[in-house]
Structure 1
Amino acid sequence: MNMSSTTLLIALGATLLGAGVAFALAWTFYTTRLIEANSRVERALKGRHEARDLLRQARRQIEILRKELELARRLRAAPSHPTPVPVDDLRDDTPTIVLRGPASGYADTLPFVA
């Protein structure tokens, strides 16, 4: 081996070492970016699934409210026949309470007992 072949081997080794270091740096850089991108995609998909579930729940609630509203409209549209209150029932027919003896400071708990 002469000087030119040694120089050639050193240059070849340095090139291979540089290429390996560049590959390792690129691998590390793009792997972290890929992991971050995957996590963003997973969060977006999770949010999409949650939004879809909330939409389903909202649609169910809307359907329930529509049914309740339709029932309320039917009940309101149905003619209601209120029973008229007789005029005789408006007067007070409760018996008057007669207290025997002097009134005490306490309420009479048995007003109808003689």
Structure 2
Amino acid sequence: MSEIKAEPADYYNGSPLIPTGNPMVDGVGPASWANRSDTPDMTFHGTAKIVPMRLDPTFSIAKGDPDPRGLPVIAADKVIAGTVIEVWVNRSEPQVSYYEVQLAG
């Protein structure tokens, strides 16, 4: 575990931490992260929980809903950043988790 480069804003338990170094690289504030296991989340049955839709034919886009695959991804500057190439689904919940995007250029 590394040194936390922050100090409490006050002297009570649960007081927010204020970065004392560079908050963008010191792991506190806007650059904070949680150490997580480098293994995929699994379902109760032992299969990967989040997968591309092409690997699980039990999932599909609802009839009448637009299929995002093939649609452009437009950034805030109105420039096309890429194209959606796949939809990733959460097998434990009936929902889309991520869009896989092929970047332009």
Task: State the TM-score, normalizing by the size of structure 1.
Answer: 0.17
Structure that is richer in strand per residue: 2
Task: State the TM-score, normalizing by the size of structure 2.
Answer: 0.18
| Higher RCO (CA < 8 A, seq sep 6+) | 2
Larger Rg: 1
